[in-house]
A and B are shown apart, each in its own frame.
Chain A
Amino acid sequence: MSRTDASSAVIDRRYSEKNQMLATSLHSQTLEEIELELLLEGIYRHYGFDFRNYALSSLRRRVWNFVRDQHVGSISLLQDRVLHDRTWLDRFLYALSVNVSAMFRDPHFYRVFRKDVVPLLKTYPFIRIWLAGVSMGEEVYSLAILLQEEGIYDRCRIYATDINDAVLKKAKEGIYPSELMQTYTNNYIKSGGTRSFSDYYTYCTGADDNVVLKPSLRDNVVFAQHNLASDASFNEFHVILCRNVMIYFNSELQAHVHHLLHSSLVMFGVLGLGAKETLKFSPHEYSYEEIDDAARLYRRVV
């Protein structure tokens, strides 16, 4: 057999193998999975937002919640709305990006941050902090309060990013329902807060339903849109907190984000993850040493 004959035979064989694989996978997927894939693919191709590597289970749940809330008949019908109407996309994105959080959530984390991380930060003349995936901003203000109380806020520059502009706008406002203040206050106290939580907010004029956090907390904060899946490193930081964001990603996307975070962190800089997240099995497992594993705080050493 001549060389060209041989290679085309190989190609033919491979092609038919691929066809077989495709055939099997088509049969093993449910209709729902197909619709979901098509929806995400459509959004990516038309708008550029890439949710294709988000963790399937949480994504599916959110999509269905949205479909039901909006009284749309099916995921395919949702796809029709989203692709043809920008406002539908914005609403949909918003629903996907809002992550339930609270101020001083995981008080242990803030305790350890105060005790073990702040003294390290005090050895730097200027401190850059990146909060990736801030959603409604609860973590931003919590950290700002902590840094003010520890007396290093003036040296800090906090970059608060999120994939969604609309969500960022809300975070910038710093307005929260007043009924949450009791929980927040408890969290604050457990986190080792040194003052009174009510020092940091005032009631919105005209209504008792909402409070607004003190604007001075925002002085050194930059809010910017950034997509962890597609965007590159935009600076070098002494602290990076990416908490409860990666639980929504599949392992491939998680590895990608870990790489991005590692390359944006100075040597001996601090990385903070969410309670249900881990460095284990990530490509950078050995690049960090533990500051406090329970608080998910790590220090880059490699």
Chain B
Amino acid sequence: MSHELRTPLNSMLILAKLLSEGEENLTHKQREFARTIYSSGSDLLELINEILDLSKIESGMMEVEVGRVLFNDLSEYVERTFRQVGHDKGLEFQVHADSQLAPGIYTDQRRLQQVLKNLLSNAFKFTERGRVSINILPATSGWSPDNKTLSAAESVVAFSVTDTGIGISPDKRAIIFEPFQQADGTITRRYGGTGLGLSISREIATLLGGEIQLDSRVGEGSTFTLYLPATYQPDVMKRKIHAGAQVQHFTPPVREIEPEVSLIMENVIDDDRAHLEDGDRTLLIIEDDQKFAKIMMEMARERGFKVIVAMRGDSGLALARQYTPSAITLDIELPGMDGWSVLDRLKHTKATRHIPVQIISVTEERQRGLKMGAMAYENKPVSPEALREALGKIEQFVQRGVKSLLVIEDDKTAQQSIIELIGEGDVETVAVGTAEEAMSELRNKHYDCVVLDLGLPDMNGFDLMENIKREIGNIPIIIYTGKDLSPKEETELRRLAETIIVKDVRSLERLLDETALFLHRVEENLPEPKRQMLEQLRKKDPVLAGKKVLIIDDDMRNIFALTSLLERYDMQVLYAENGKDGIDTLKNTPSIDVALVDIMMPEMDGYEAMRQIREMEEFKQTPLIALTAKAMKGDREKCIEAGASDYITKPADSEQLLSLLRVWLFK
């Protein structure tokens, strides 16, 4: 429903702003009208947002996102938001946090800010002279006795907003919390605002486990105090569930089949698809709101883009494939195929996956969009400034398009051929011949990818890679080498490099493909670094910490993944790539606590390896967990018969594997 409400407003606001500020020949009066339209529209938008909020809360649909909120951040936020207002009105503005306070509170930051903003906003609105202040302090009383949550809470924080304004008489105190009511009993907007703020604030306070108290004297001023428990308790909170509220089920959108060619012909807006030339910067706008699409089209044309417009998801996808535009703006709520499906398809098709996509939509799913590979995310309604900024970003991106590649190769001829091959068009290639020059380049400039020859004069390739990872961080490295590599060397290299290319007749082509993959991947999310995960937290688990685990598996992906997982729990990980090497490692390394054994391996498979291990006296009791891709009935029994203590199927669920390890390592 919010889509239907916000979308028409969106266009109206932007157009009004453009009219009032633009360069067209308007009379003073006409500009005045435009400004009025804009401000009425803004008011309407504010009202809609608040009504939607209120209805969400009342129907029990408002979600609470709990997190740590620091008082320092909060203080900064209110300062920032109201400093100017206070200055303009000639009022003193004070922000104070008590020294006895803990550093923060555990609650929904956004909602808390919303309430404080409302209280402060009212304070400034109804005060002509004097001071507005907000005081944050620990509280042991002040709230109503029948508020069980606050009374039972370990500690309570009070946010007191005091003003020297007109004040509220006792008999009016209840009314002001009612929707649309003001103290003078009228609903006229003498002081501006929607009249909903306090109702919403009260609901939010309840939602977060607290309440708002009011103390006031007519002619002297008011103090509104928000009391909140220091730690939000979800199960203690009483949610108001509207009788008969419908629980909405989210049904994922059905994947559409390929659009028919006829859809491509659909061309309601007069866009530029008929006049495209080579070298044009094209923007594809996928947006079902015709007016908004037109606005964006004009703006984009102003910046020198040629524009194609699609009003349905499926035609948008088809046009993207047909015209491969320089950039795409994408709405989520579309007929034909929803924006998520379109984004998914775009990012999973070779021809279109590198095109930067900017999402402009009413839905608030920024994280999801970015995770799926969108370049940026704007929420509607979007102001003209924001829109210009978004287009500017796109423009910059498309222009910059230049990615930078560092080639570390001492052979001049090879350098030349690589530069010529890859350095075409949008890749800026720099070549150096020694490790020292390479490190210097990487320290001074940003590179998107590195091509590295192993045979450098001043340092061997392995060492250089270690240096790069340590000093520069995670940058994709492609090894390009004429050297013969042993299996052990290959495995070592693969820990640090993305891929290895052996110099041969077709190797330059492969080099081109692999570098293209990494240079474009930078636009989507960076691949997860091999030995690091996004959460750097080291987990403490006494049963696992310090234990030695041997992984016997020839699937490198598994070894990397398991090593990352287990090292996070402070385990020491060794590996071997086949049964024979596994047994050797087991014999030669003291006190291995547990072994994970793959079944399908060359030289000696897992069954045979486990049988042989069990024949050795010293390893009769060592826990052996079979890791197998085989999931048929009877496979488990086979593993156990061969000597496995337990068994887990690939792909191994992390939690399940950790449980198994805990079971077998518990002494």
Residues of A near any B CB (own CB < 8 A) = 47-50, 119-120, 122-126, 157, 159, 161, 222, 224-227, 230-236, 267-268, 286-287, 289, 301-302
Q: How far is the CA of A300 from the CA of B353 in the complex (A)?
A: 15
**17 extra A-B contacts, CB within 8 A, seeds A123-B507, A159-B600, A268-B510:** A47-B633, A48-B632, A120-B506, A122-B505, A123-B504, A123-B510, A125-B500, A161-B600, A222-B602, A222-B605, A224-B605, A232-B631, A232-B651, A234-B598, A236-B556, A268-B513, A302-B349
Q: How far is the CA of A94 from the CA of B485 in the complex (A)?
A: 42
**CB nearest neighbor in B for A229:** B632
- Chain B: minimal CB distance from A14 (Å): 17
- Chain B: minimal CB distance from A125 (Å): 4
B545 at the interface (CB under 8 A from A): no
**Which chain B positions have C-beta within 8 A of A286?**
348-350
Residue of A50, A157, A231 with most chain B CB atoms under a 10 A cut-off: A231
- Chain A: minimal CB distance from B90 (Å): 59
Chain B contact residues, majority secondary structure = loop
**Which chain B positions have C-beta within 8 A of A125?**
484-485, 490, 500, 502
Among B348, B503, B554, B650, point to the contact of A232 (Cβ < 8 A): B650
Residue-wise, chain B 494-514 has the 8 Å CB interface mask toward A (1 for contact) of: 000000111111110010011
B481-497 contacts to A, CB under 8 A, are 484-485, 487, 490
**Which chain B positions have C-beta within 8 A of A232?**
629, 631, 649-651
**Which chain B positions have C-beta within 8 A of A231?**
629-632
B517 at the interface (CB under 8 A from A): yes
B601 at the interface (CB under 8 A from A): yes
Q: How far is the CA of A289 from the CA of B556 in the complex (A)?
A: 26
Residue-wise, chain B 622-656 has the 8 Å CB interface mask toward A (1 for contact) of: 00000011111110000000000000011100000
B600 & A224 in contact (Cβ 8 Å cutoff): yes
**CB nearest neighbor in A for B634:** A48
A48 & B633 in contact (Cβ 8 Å cutoff): yes
**6 closest A-B pairs by CB:** A48-B633, A234-B629, A123-B507, A235-B555, A122-B504, A119-B506
B148 at the interface (CB under 8 A from A): no
A233 & B505 in contact (Cβ 8 Å cutoff): no
B217 at the interface (CB under 8 A from A): no
**Which chain A positions have C-beta within 8 A of B633?**
47-48
A236 & B353 in contact (Cβ 8 Å cutoff): no
B611 at the interface (CB under 8 A from A): no
Among B506, B555, B605, B630, point to the contact of A123 (Cβ < 8 A): B506
Sample (14) of A-B pairs whose CB atoms are under 8 Å apart: A48-B632, A119-B506, A125-B484, A125-B500, A159-B602, A227-B631, A227-B632, A231-B629, A231-B631, A234-B650, A236-B555, A267-B514, A267-B517, A301-B350
- Chain A: minimal CB distance from B163 (Å): 49
**CB nearest neighbor in B for A157:** B602
- Chain B: minimal CB distance from A131 (Å): 13
- Chain B: minimal CB distance from A261 (Å): 13
**CB nearest neighbor in A for B493:** A125
B557 at the interface (CB under 8 A from A): yes
- Chain B: minimal CB distance from A144 (Å): 14
Q: How far is the CA of A224 from the CA of B602 in the complex (A)?
A: 9
B506 & A234 in contact (Cβ 8 Å cutoff): no
**Which chain B positions have C-beta within 8 A of A120?**
506, 510
**Which chain A positions have C-beta within 8 A of B501?**
123-124
**CB nearest neighbor in B for A122:** B504
Given A222-B601, A286-B349, check contact A126 B504 (CB 8 Å). no
Residue of B349, B353, B557, B600 with most chain A CB atoms under a 10 A cut-off: B600
**CB nearest neighbor in B for A233:** B629
Q: How far is the CA of A232 from the CA of B353 in the complex (A)?
A: 28
Q: How far is the CA of A50 from the CA of B633 in the complex (A)?
A: 10
**Which chain B positions have C-beta within 8 A of A230?**
630-632
Among A49, A126, A227, point to the contact of B630 (Cβ < 8 A): A227
- Chain A: minimal CB distance from B530 (Å): 14
B629 & A123 in contact (Cβ 8 Å cutoff): no
B632 & A49 in contact (Cβ 8 Å cutoff): yes
**Which chain A positions have C-beta within 8 A of B502?**
122-125
**Which chain A positions have C-beta within 8 A of B556?**
236
**CB nearest neighbor in B for A268:** B513
Q: How far is the CA of A119 from the CA of B506 in the complex (A)?
A: 6
Chain A contact residues, majority secondary structure = loop
Residues of B near any A CB (own CB < 8 A) = 348-350, 353, 484-485, 487, 490, 500-507, 510, 513-514, 517, 554-557, 598-602, 605, 628-634, 649-651
Q: How far is the CA of A290 from the CA of B398 in the complex (A)?
A: 30
Q: How far is the CA of A97 from the CA of B364 in the complex (A)?
A: 53
**Which chain B positions have C-beta within 8 A of A234?**
555, 598-600, 628-629, 650
**Which chain A positions have C-beta within 8 A of B557?**
236
**Which chain B positions have C-beta within 8 A of A236?**
555-557
- Chain A: minimal CB distance from B320 (Å): 13
- Chain A: minimal CB distance from B479 (Å): 9
Q: How far is the CA of A71 from the CA of B164 in the complex (A)?
A: 104
**Which chain A positions have C-beta within 8 A of B631?**
227, 230-232
**Which chain B positions have C-beta within 8 A of A302?**
348-350, 353
**Which chain B positions have C-beta within 8 A of A126?**
485, 487, 490
Q: How far is the CA of A84 from the CA of B72 in the complex (A)?
A: 76
Q: How far is the CA of A75 from the CA of B666 in the complex (A)?
A: 52
**Which chain A positions have C-beta within 8 A of B628?**
234
**CB nearest neighbor in A for B508:** A123
Q: How far is the CA of A122 from the CA of B502 in the complex (A)?
A: 7
**Which chain A positions have C-beta within 8 A of B484?**
125
Given A222-B601, A232-B629, A232-B650, check contact A47 B506 (CB 8 Å). no
**Which chain A positions have C-beta within 8 A of B513?**
268
- Chain B: minimal CB distance from A171 (Å): 16
**CB nearest neighbor in B for A287:** B348
**Which chain B positions have C-beta within 8 A of A161?**
600
B651 & A233 in contact (Cβ 8 Å cutoff): yes
B650 & A233 in contact (Cβ 8 Å cutoff): yes
- Chain B: minimal CB distance from A235 (Å): 4
A289 & B629 in contact (Cβ 8 Å cutoff): no
- Chain B: minimal CB distance from A54 (Å): 15
Residue of B348, B598, B629, B651 with most chain A CB atoms under a 10 A cut-off: B629
A289 & B350 in contact (Cβ 8 Å cutoff): yes
**CB nearest neighbor in A for B652:** A232
Q: How far is the CA of A161 from the CA of B600 in the complex (A)?
A: 10
**Which chain B positions have C-beta within 8 A of A289?**
350
- Chain A: minimal CB distance from B651 (Å): 6
**CB nearest neighbor in B for A126:** B490
- Chain A: minimal CB distance from B372 (Å): 15
Given A125-B502, A289-B350, check contact A268 B650 (CB 8 Å). no
Q: How far is the CA of A233 from the CA of B631 in the complex (A)?
A: 11
Q: How far is the CA of A232 from the CA of B632 in the complex (A)?
A: 10
Q: How far is the CA of A70 from the CA of B506 in the complex (A)?
A: 54
**Which chain A positions have C-beta within 8 A of B350?**
286, 289, 301-302
Q: How far is the CA of A50 from the CA of B600 in the complex (A)?
A: 21
Q: How far is the CA of A244 from the CA of B348 in the complex (A)?
A: 28
- Chain B: minimal CB distance from A18 (Å): 22
Q: How far is the CA of A236 from the CA of B555 in the complex (A)?
A: 7
**Which chain A positions have C-beta within 8 A of B629?**
226, 231-234
**Which chain B positions have C-beta within 8 A of A124?**
500-502
- Chain B: minimal CB distance from A27 (Å): 32
**Which chain A positions have C-beta within 8 A of B487?**
126
- Chain A: minimal CB distance from B288 (Å): 26
Q: How far is the CA of A157 from the CA of B490 in the complex (A)?
A: 14
Q: How far is the CA of A157 from the CA of B554 in the complex (A)?
A: 11
**CB nearest neighbor in B for A161:** B600
**Which chain A positions have C-beta within 8 A of B599?**
224, 234
Q: How far is the CA of A225 from the CA of B635 in the complex (A)?
A: 11
- Chain A: minimal CB distance from B512 (Å): 11
**CB nearest neighbor in A for B627:** A234
Q: How far is the CA of A127 from the CA of B148 in the complex (A)?
A: 68
Q: How far is the CA of A150 from the CA of B27 in the complex (A)?
A: 83
- Chain A: minimal CB distance from B399 (Å): 27
**CB nearest neighbor in B for A44:** B633
Given A231-B629, A289-B350, A301-B350, check contact A119 B505 (CB 8 Å). yes
